[in-house]
Amino acid sequence: MDMIIFGDGNLGRAIAAGFAAELGADREPDNLFPRVVGRPTSGRHDPRDLGSPDLVIEASRGDAVVGNVAAALAAGCRRFVVATTGWDDDRAAVDTALRDHRATAVVGANLSLGVALFGRLVDRAVELLGPLEAFDPYLVEWHRRTKADRPSGTARELSRRILAAHPRKRRLHDPAADGPPAPDELDVAVIRAGASPGMHLVGFDAPGETIELRLTARDRSAYVAGALAAATWLATAPRPVGIVEFGAIVDDLINACPARPLAQVG
């Protein structure tokens, strides 16, 4: 399979290494490593330089997504995994281009099974605690000092889920504003320090107790595993055209694991 990874940063290289390990050392050298393609000096990829990729993984930067997808579509690619954040304004254009070419892209604010399930836990927590006025929700995220976007794409998605389901929170608090958040505002704290690959914490604080849900990434292996799962999902059956959320892959993975009777648990 001819595979291209757009983006030669930490994430792109980690995904390339993960795919190489999955393919195995006994494969021919030309098939062993995905092609990792950095940003061209012109700013846009020439489709003639891409060959005929079977799969493209987008792991570059938000402002490059729409152009990279367009170039890969012109080169004949019809399967994509988008692991980049910060391209929300171009989402409609990307979806239209995919549909026009009968192509499919798996996208997610974070291609981690743990993050996908964490979001569902947060949904349930808001459902349980939202009606109780004493429990005030908040969100904290911490990433490496050099991470550019703040808050992270995952934090934005978690914020969206909280605001969509909470009976009293309607908007995000402006971190530049003076004074405390208004009662209908959700406060999001962003930390950029050190080398942390990612920590997200959703809490609910009441006068006498605090409930917290925390997800900590130790390295990028969870993101690599998610990209592998998405690529496998695309390759194993015909899929709907356009943008498909990573949650669909998570649902398939869960449904593929039959529930064990309680007597067998433990």
CATH number at residue 140: 3.30.360.10
pLDDT in tens, 163-219: 999 999 999 999 989 999 999 999 999 999 999 989 999 999 999 999 999 999 998
**Contact assessment for residue 123 and residue 98, using Cβ atoms and an 8 Å cutoff:** no
Q: Are residues 69 and 119 in the same domain?
A: no
Q: Are residues 30 and 57 in the same domain?
A: yes
Report the percent of the chain where pLDDT is more than 90.
70
Beta bridge partners of 101: none
Give the model's pLDDT for residue 258: 64
Q: Are residues 141 and 230 in the same domain?
A: no
Q: Are residues 9 and 105 in the same domain?
A: yes
Q: Is 266 a domain residue? A: no
Number of domains in the chain: 2
245 pLDDT higher than 50: yes
Set 45, 101, 147, 169: catalytic member: 147
Q: Is 192 a domain residue? A: yes
Set 45, 143, 169, 200: catalytic member: 143
Cα dist from 183 to 53, 134, 155, 159, 209, whole Å: 51, 12, 20, 16, 19
Q: Are residues 210 and 128 in the same domain?
A: yes
State the Cα–Cα distance between residues 223 and 217, nearest whole angstrom: 9
- Please provide residue 97's backbone torsions phi and psi, each rounded to the nearest 5 degrees: -65, -40
**Domain harbouring 20, CATH code:** 3.40.50.720
| Range of the structural domain that residue 171 is part of | 113-216
Q: Are residues 117 and 107 in the same domain?
A: no
Sorting pLDDT into bands at 50, 70 and 90, what band is 70?
very high
Q: Is 157 a domain residue? A: yes
Give catalytic status of residue 101 as yes or no.
no
Cα dist from 261 to 111, 126, 257, whole Å: 30, 29, 13
Q: Are residues 103 and 14 in the same domain?
A: yes
Sorting pLDDT into bands at 50, 70 and 90, what band is 42?
confident
Q: Are residues 17 and 46 in the same domain?
A: yes
pLDDT in tens, 128-172: 999 999 999 999 999 999 988 889 989 999 999 999 999 999 999
Residue 144 class from Cβ within 10 Å (0-12 exposed, 13-18 middle, 19+ buried)? Answer: middle
Sorting pLDDT into bands at 50, 70 and 90, what band is 24?
low
Q: Is 54 a domain residue? A: yes
Give catalytic status of residue 169 as yes or no.
no
Residue 198 class from Cβ within 10 Å (0-12 exposed, 13-18 middle, 19+ buried)? Answer: buried
Q: Are residues 104 and 224 in the same domain?
A: yes
Helix residue ranges, H only, 111-246: 113-129, 153-165, 221-236
Q: Are residues 207 and 167 in the same domain?
A: yes
Q: Are residues 160 and 249 in the same domain?
A: no
Q: Are residues 99 and 149 in the same domain?
A: no
